[in-house]
Amino acid sequence: MSSPSKNTPAGSPSPDQPVIHLSGLVKQFDGRVVLDGINLTVRRGETLVIMGASGCGKSTLLRCLIGANRPDEGTVKLFGKDIWALAPKELDSVRRRLGILFQSGALFSSMTVGENVALPLREHTDLSPEMIDLMVKVKLELVGLREAENQYPAQISGGMAKRAGLARAIALDPELLFYDEPTSGLDPIMTGIIDGLIMDLSRTMNVTSIVVTHDLKSAFRVADRMVVLNQGKIVTEGKPHEIRACTDPFVKRFIQGPVEAKTAVFPKSAMEKPEREETTLSTLREAIVKAEEDGRAAEVQRLKKELNKLESVASGEG
């Protein structure tokens, strides 16, 4: 076997292999079929949006995808592995490659924003406290939330809580990022900021994203590809322009909602990016120099990776 390349972690046989492959997925609750034979393939690096009316089974599908709901029939393959055929330890290592932004944000209220973001790093890595501290700052910087590091969830706005949840979701540099209704309850400006972040993270972290939403405007903005769910099935699938041109009566009715949903032209203010501070960049650069001086090669590599992401996000803003 050839050695894995930089973008192909050990255990991923081929970069062209789909990161998600669902076949014949059926899920029912109390005898009521919610998902009725879903087939879906997601390729590395793409942003797939799952749309559908409220209650149609989007979150259930997402929970099946992350291994939180066990399907009644069908298989769920992540990175080529049938997740329900894995031993618990193997399943754990697959889950570690996923980042999830839950609808509620799901922050621990007794911890500061920074502590929430640090949690997965403390639990799943052996990084030093100083490195963890730096990683937390970088992740918060990536979502434009450096200033909230020491605040508690009760002290921040809904949009900030989503961003904090996102910083925590990316703490372990996931390859697959799941978002459940990332813009629900947010005003158009904050929705634009979150959409911008989804696109930024996809670009800078080369992550594969699955976005569940019933917000059409947001869906058309972030999607590379879309699927529409109805009555337990995928009624259509395609690129945004194909979905707009779709002749299926349900899809037509679904996307002919509010006028702005179809046009996907956005006021500039809605695309404003959160402010970012130069300080994290310079702290990071200093830490790299120091780690290099001390000969901590692994740390240097890790920090440089973070620096690349931050610089790439910063340059995308100009």
Ligand X SMILES: Nc1ncnc2c1ncn2[C@@H]1O[C@H](COP(=O)(O)OP(=O)(O)O)[C@@H](O)[C@H]1O
Site of interaction with ligand X (CB under 6 A) = 29, 34, 52, 54-60
Q: Is there a contact between 139 and 121 (Cβ–Cβ < 8 Å)?
A: no
Number of chain positions touching Mg ion (CB under 5 A): 1
Q: Supply the minimum distance, in Å, between the C-beta of residue 161 and ligand X.
A: 19
Report the residue number, 141 or 181, with the smaller CB distance to Mg ion: 181
Q: Is 59 in the site for Mg ion (CB under 5 A)?
A: yes
Q: Is there a contact between 140 and 274 (Cβ–Cβ < 8 Å)?
A: no
Which region, judged by CB under 5 A, interacts with Mg ion, from 57-65, 80-88, 196-204, 214-222?
Answer: 57-65
Q: Supply the minimum distance, in Å, between the C-beta of residue 60 and Mg ion.
A: 8
56 binds, among ligand X, Mg ion, none (CB under 5 to 8 A by kind): ligand X
Rounded CA-CA distance 204/316 in Å is: 10
Closest Cα to residue 105, out of 52, 55, 154, 142? 154
Report the residue number, 148 or 219, with the smaller CB distance to Mg ion: 219
Measured CA distances, 153 to 118, 159, 165 (Å): 14, 11, 10
Q: Supply the minimum distance, in Å, between the C-beta of residue 62 and Mg ion.
A: 8
Q: Supply the minimum distance, in Å, between the C-beta of residue 34 and ligand X.
A: 4
Report the residue number, 34 or 148, with the smaller CB distance to Mg ion: 34
Q: Supply the minimum distance, in Å, between the C-beta of residue 299 and Mg ion.
A: 40
57 binds, among ligand X, Mg ion, none (CB under 5 to 8 A by kind): ligand X
Report the residue number, 50 or 156, with the smaller CB distance to Mg ion: 50
Report the residue number, 56 or 121, with the smaller CB distance to ligand X: 56
Residue 235, C-beta contacts closer than 8 angstroms, at least 6 positions apart: 228, 229, 248, 250, 251
Residue 205, C-beta contacts closer than 8 angstroms, at least 6 positions apart: 170, 173, 177, 309
Measured CA distances, 246 to 21, 239, 257, 263, 273 (Å): 24, 10, 14, 15, 32
Q: Supply the minimum distance, in Å, between the C-beta of residue 63 and Mg ion.
A: 9
182 binds, among Mg ion, ligand X, none (CB under 5 to 8 A by kind): none
60 binds, among ligand X, Mg ion, none (CB under 5 to 8 A by kind): ligand X
Residue type, 210: I
Report the residue number, 2 or 54, with the smaller CB distance to ligand X: 54
Q: Supply the minimum distance, in Å, between the C-beta of residue 102 and Mg ion.
A: 10
213 binds, among ligand X, Mg ion, none (CB under 5 to 8 A by kind): none
140 binds, among ligand X, Mg ion, none (CB under 5 to 8 A by kind): none
Measured CA distances, 245 to 17, 119, 238, 242 (Å): 29, 45, 10, 5
Which region, judged by CB under 5 A, interacts with Mg ion, from 51-59, 104-112, 139-147, 296-304?
Answer: 51-59
Residue 28, C-beta contacts closer than 8 angstroms, at least 6 positions apart: 34, 35, 72
Residue ranges that bind Mg ion, judged by CB under 5 A? 59
